[in-house]
Amino acid sequence: MGSHFLEKMGFISNQISRDKLKAGDHIYSWRNAYIYSHHGIYIGDEKVIHFTCGGGLETGTGTFLDKILVSVIPKHKGDNPCPNCGERLNVDGVISSCLDCFLAGGNIYLFEYSVSPAAFIAKPRRGTCTIAPSDPCEEVISRAKYLLFRNGFGDYHALENNCEDFAIYCKTSLLVGKNYVLGRGGQASSVSAAAWLAQLSPFGSKAIQLFADIGMRKDAIKVPVESLIARAYATGTSRNTS
């Protein structure tokens, strides 16, 4: 694909260089010829905390989800094992990787927060921004590290509980309703709604995606990470085995 086409389609408009990264940034990298992007929280020192499906969870379904799920497992381009991460025995759930393993040979893109409704609608591709504001970077990093330590973000699901959901929660602490439902990341929302959105006008489909954004939802509430973990333990969805 040519760079002009990729920029027009919104694939590379958020690209950022390593030297511009700041601790607390929500970053992502495109996978599988720009079909899907993997998201995480950059915490500084070339380290990223992110949420993965790990050892083959839900692969073998015979659907497009197989490629998506395999693509979020961290891989180091070159040496194996990675000289920074070492031999990884567990890549399941919330993990910390070096930036190179997170990128898996791809480029770095910065997820945008506090975008205007007009800018959100103008974006040709979902999963790159939200209207919701970000919390201060210290809170973002603390939240990500807490979830890493507790591994308490539940089971990975490409459409209902994925890496983008994890990163957005770390940045905003926003969940939906009393049951702490995830806001559902933009790219997952686009995939799950594609069948019937295709019947609408382009503006109509984008308007629906706008009001589905976590920053626009009236039922989105701030949930402290400790409360999220407590609920995970109470419902048996925590992955912490210690």
Question: Rounded to an integer, what distance in angstroms lies between the CA atom of residue 229 and that of residue 48?
Answer: 21
Query: How many Cα atoms within 13 Å fall on the side-chain side of residue 126?
Result: 22
Rounded to the nearest integer, the mean pLDDT of the chain is: 78
Known catalytic residue at 26: no
For 147-166, how does the pLDDT look when each residue is reduced to its tens digit (9 = 90+)?
999 888 888 887 778 899 99
Q: Is 167 helix (H, G, I), strand (E, B) or coil?
A: helix
Phi, psi of 56 (to 5 degrees): 80, 15
Cβ 182 vs Cβ 169: under 8 Å: yes
Instruction: Say what the pLDDT of residue 147 is.
Output: 96
Known catalytic residue at 38: yes
Given the residues 26, 50, 53, 170, select the one marked as catalytic: 50
What are the angstrom distances between the C-alpha of 238 and each of 149, 226, 227?
A: 12, 12, 12
Which DSSP helix (H) or strand (E) runs through 41? strand 36-44
- Give CA torsion, residues 196, 198, 203, 207, to 10 deg: 30
Question: pTM for this one?
Answer: 0.81
Cβ 27 vs Cβ 111: under 8 Å: yes
- Give CA torsion, residues 170, 104, 155, 220, to 10 deg: 30
Given the residues 85, 98, 163, 170, select the one marked as catalytic: 163
Instruction: Say what the pLDDT of residue 54 is.
Output: 66
Question: Rounded to an integer, what distance in angstroms lies between the CA atom of residue 184 and that of residue 161?
Answer: 7
Instruction: Say what the pLDDT of residue 81 is.
Output: 76
Token pair 């921004």: residue? 129
Given the residues 38, 82, 98, 170, select the one marked as catalytic: 38
Instruction: Say what the pLDDT of residue 26 is.
Output: 98
Known catalytic residue at 53: no
The pLDDT profile of the chain, 242 residues, written as one tens digit per residue, is: 555 444 444 445 799 999 999 999 999 998 876 778 899 999 999 999 999 886 544 444 445 555 555 555 666 555 567 888 876 666 778 999 999 999 988 999 999 999 999 999 888 777 899 999 999 999 999 999 999 998 888 888 877 788 999 999 999 999 986 666 655 565 655 544 444 444 445 555 677 788 889 999 988 999 999 999 988 777 666 666 44
Question: Rounded to an integer, what distance in angstroms lies between the CA atom of residue 51 and that of residue 165?
Answer: 9
For 47-88, how does the pLDDT look when each residue is reduced to its tens digit (9 = 90+)?
999 998 865 444 444 455 555 555 556 665 555 678 888 766
Instruction: Say what the pLDDT of residue 83 is.
Output: 82
Instruction: Say what the pLDDT of residue 238 is.
Output: 63
Diameter of the chain measured on Cα atoms: 51
